[in-house]
Each structure stands twice: as structure tokens, then as C-alpha cells.
Chains A and B, each alone.
Chain A
Amino acid sequence: MASATYLSNPGVMINSVNLTDMCTSATVTNTIEALEATAFGSTSRSYVGGLASQEITLDLYMSYAATETYATLAALVGTVTTVKVASTDAALTTASATAPRFELEGCYLEALPVINATMGELSTISITFTGGVLSTIVA
């Protein structure tokens, strides 16, 4: 059995708007592109770090009510903004070493599903912010 686990309950803020209560999934991925540096004489492939390529993927309940999901995201398509995801909702404002916050500044929202409806189900959307500079806040 794992000695230390974390029950998923993050806080999510998009463009300063707290959408924690609309979010069901959040993934922050810190990627440094691998550039191949293998040369003749090598017996195995080797790589060096290239450009950072960040990504945040969120699943959200869709709502067209005032100041909800659609109102938050509609004007952000095709623009850059800042997205914050913290291990807890409280860490969105007060982070710590055991409750870090990840901030992606200058990330780009390429696409927004404006309708995603299935009979008998609550409407949800999945969006991805790419690029930008990722910071880890622990204090």
C-alpha cells in the first residue's frame, strides 16, 4: 500500500476566474522536448533537452449562465492568458511545499467546444492550453 497518497481535489483558475466547482479533471504537463544527439559510434540513442513545451488540459461542466464556463472562456479563444492549477483550492491563493500551485503564464487556447451535448447527460467540455512559461509556486 502506498505510504502517501493524494485524493484529487485541485483548485483551478483561468484568467483570474475560479472555476474549481466546474472542473472534473485537470492535467498539468511539464515537457522539455527531447533532441536526439546520437552520433556514429554510439551503441544507444542519447538525447539533450530542447525547448520547454507546456500543456494544461481541463475537463469542465459547460454552463452558459452569467460568469460561468462559457463566459470565462469565450473571449479567450485565439489569445494567451494565465492558468493556475493548485493541489487544493486554498493553494490557489496560499501555496506551500506540500500544497504547490502551478501557473502557466502566456498559454494559448486554440479551441473551445461551444456545444458538446449528449441526451440525458450533463454537458462537459475538454480544453487544452499550450505554450507559455510554467512556474511552480511553493510559498
Chain B
Amino acid sequence: MKYTVISERIGTVGEEFVPGAGTNIESLLAHGFIKSDEPSDSPTPKSAKTKEPAKKD
């Protein structure tokens, strides 16, 4: 997971944020200090459906 700085209190805006040990990422995301670079609403690829062969008695 990659993060980008969006508040000057964290670092240079636009640069990648690399969390140090013990950093509470959820707090920084929730209050607008950083943003996640991973698209949140990308559709999850569905696995192909396979048809089970008919059972023979």
C-alpha cells in the first residue's frame, strides 16, 4: 500500500509517505494528512465460472 502526503504537517505535499514504526495510518487517513494511492472502488475481477462435469452413476 502506498500513501501520498496531502498535509504539510506530515511532509512535502505530493511526495510519497513512508510510515515509520508505530505510525497509526488510520488516524492520518481519516483526518486528511495522507491519502491512499490504491483505488478504493476498482472492481474486483471475478473468477471464471467453471461448469462441473455431470456425475455418472
Contacts and interface: CB of A to CB of B under 8 A. Distances in A.
A18 B9 contact: yes
A106 B22 contact: yes
A9 interface: no
Majority secondary structure of chain B interface residues (helix, strand, loop or mixed): loop
Size band of the interface chain A makes with B: 10 to 19
Interface residues of B, number: 17
A71 B21 contact: no
B23 A72 contact: no
B32 A15 contact: no
Nearest to B27: A75
Given A17-B9, A67-B9, A81 B32 contact: no
Nearest to A132: B22
A105 B13 CA distance: 25
A16 interface: yes
B23 A67 contact: no
A67 B20 contact: no
Interface of A: 15-19, 66-67, 71-72, 74-76, 79-82, 105-106, 132
Q: Which 8 A-B pairs have the closest CB atoms?
A: A82-B22, A75-B27, A71-B31, A67-B7, A105-B22, A17-B9, A81-B24, A15-B24
Given A16-B23, A67-B9, 4 more contacts: A16-B28, A66-B32, A67-B32, A105-B21
